[in-house]
Each structure stands twice: as C-alpha cells, then as structure tokens.
Amino acid sequence: MKDTLRTTVARATPMYDGPICDAFLHGPWIGGPGVSPRADVVPWTDDRRLRRVMSTFHHPDQPGGEAPRRSLAQVLAEMDATGVSGGVLAAKVYYPATEAALDSLHGELAALAGASAGRLRWIATVLPPEHGPGTYWDLMRGPRVIRALAGLPGLVGVHITPSPWGLAPNDRWYYPLYATCAELDLALFTYVGMPGPLWPMGPNDPTHLDDVALAFPDMPIIAHHIGDPWNDMAVRLAARHANYYICTSAWSPKAYPKAVMEFMVGQWHGTKGAEKVIFASDYPLLDLARATRAARALPLPDADLRSVLHDNAARLFFR
C-alpha cells in the first residue's frame, strides 16, 4: 500500500458545544510560590546567557512572553467559562535546580489538583541530567523522585524536556525513568518540535521517540507542542504506535499544521487520526477562551471533534 494519507471530507456541522479536556496547563504561572522557591520559576532577566536564550520566546497573548500568575480559583473560573471540564497541570524544570525546589514545585501542583474537586490532574518532572549527553551520574535519582510521588493526588504522568536538557529522549539516561512510568501506569509527556527559546532543536526531533515507543509499548507517550517542523513524522509515529499521541499545546487551532489536520479528518494506514490527537492550550501563555473557541470551530465531524477535544484525554488521564 502506498504511503499516502487517506482523508475524508468533514461534513458541515454546528460548532461543537460539548466538554473539553485541556491536556497541558503551563505550570510556572499557576498556583502559589510553594514552601520554598519552585524549580520551575527561573529569574532570567539579570542573566546575560538566559536573556539571549529567551530573546526569541514571545507569545501573542502576553507582551514579552510573560503571563500573570493564576490562582486555583481563577483557573477553575476560566475553565468554567470556556467549557473545560478537566485539565492537566504540567511541571517542568529546564535548568539545574535543587531537590528542595523540585519538591516545592511538586507539592504545589499536587495541592492544586487535590483542591480542585477532581477537575485537575498533574504531571511531575525530574532534575535535568547533570552532564548532558553521555551522563552517567545517578540514573536512578529520577525514578526515586517519581516513586516518592506515587501516592499524591492526581498524578498522571512524568514530563521531560529534551531540548533544554541537551539529551534526546532515546538516550539510555531516561530508560530507568521510563521503566518506572510503565510500572506505575504513568504517561510520558515529552516536549517535541523546534523550541521557541534558543535551545538546540535536535533533541526535540520526535523521530527519537520511535525507539522509546518500541521499548515501552505500555507507556502512553504524549508528544506535546506537536513536533513542527517534523509534522509528517509526528503523524507517522502516531499511526505506527498505539501508545503515541500528538498533543496540540502551544498551537492556536487556527494554525495547526496541514499534516495534522489531514490526519485528524482521515487516517494513516488504518489508524484513525481523531483517536490519536489530544487538545491542549498551553494556558495561560495562550488565551484559554480564544484557544477553545477556535478548537470548537475546527472542520471535523462532531464525534471526531469530541475525541480530540475531550475523550482521548479523559480516557488517559481522568479514569
């Protein structure tokens, strides 16, 4: 069979008015400061190196790429106003941090999820590899961190950020962490695509995740930020592996890549695209009202749109 994408023509339907799950809420701008400074909050304006890295990082909804911090009450109110029934808070640590700062971050996100009446889940992270590529220092530190969190409310996954860490996700350093995720029934969230800040883009190539999906078939892989400019590869990976999902965080639905839109309205080698794509906004860096309004208007049949906007995430994270 030729490697061509078979698409179907989406019928004209009214705007989808059902529930939405947002699979990626950007953690650093949500909640309080924690019991000690959180590992995801990095003052960069006084650091010449970080200023250079961040010089290309801007968001259309907030001048300068910064967003005001939201309280739990504000988050839930915006979710109510936009029909978002559930969301996933994302922990991230781009740069070296202390274990105390990581604990503070995790404690704050767990507290937010625990106080949300079941509306929020969260994903943890680990400290970056200390020596980048070829690191051999304490490969079991990350797994120990995740095992210690296993009983906290709402934990559904672990987040890695290959580009700022300078380490592709199929490096041996990650494998004990993946084994722990598989054992604890946690999804792997991984950053893919060319980064906005000036980090190396090679580690974010989703092609590296083919090895991971083959080695850990029972671990859901949520490739967030889609994977541009490797959009065709992202589609092929989602079709090839039952456990690989494309997550649309940080993209306005009006700008979804053509390959992903065609996948959502059709199929690739028998894999229905609408079952392998998960909506996310990257709120509050993207405006939740605008993102959800545009998502509801996507030209997909209502049943497929419900899969992308709600059911796929609900099945994985709100069981």
Chain segment 47-80, per-residue pLDDT in tens: 888 888 888 876 543 444 455 789 999 999 999 9
Write down the pTM of the prediction.
0.92
**pLDDT attached to residue 69:** 84
Closest CA to 247 of 200, 162, 313, 300: 313
Instruction: Give the domain ranges of the chain.
Output: 16-43+70-317
pLDDT band at 273 (very low <50, low <70, confident <90, very high): very high
Ranking 33-42, 44-53, 149-158, 241-250 by mean pLDDT, the lowest is 44-53
The contacts of residue 82 (CB under 8 Å, 6+ apart) are: 20, 288, 289, 292, 293
Strand partners, 244: 221
Across 288-294, average pLDDT:
97
Q: How many CB atoms lie within 10 A of CB 316?
A: 19
pLDDT per position as a tens digit, 174-233: 999 999 999 999 999 999 999 999 999 999 999 999 999 999 999 999 999 999 999 999
**pLDDT attached to residue 10:** 42
8 A C-beta contact, residue 305 and residue 14? no
8 A C-beta contact, residue 124 and residue 159? yes
- Mean pLDDT score across all residues of the chain: 91
What backbone phi and psi angles, to 5 degrees, belong to 262?
-65, -35
**pLDDT attached to residue 2:** 37
CATH fold of 16-43+70-317: TIM Barrel (3.20.20)
Closest CA to 291 of 281, 300, 302, 279: 281
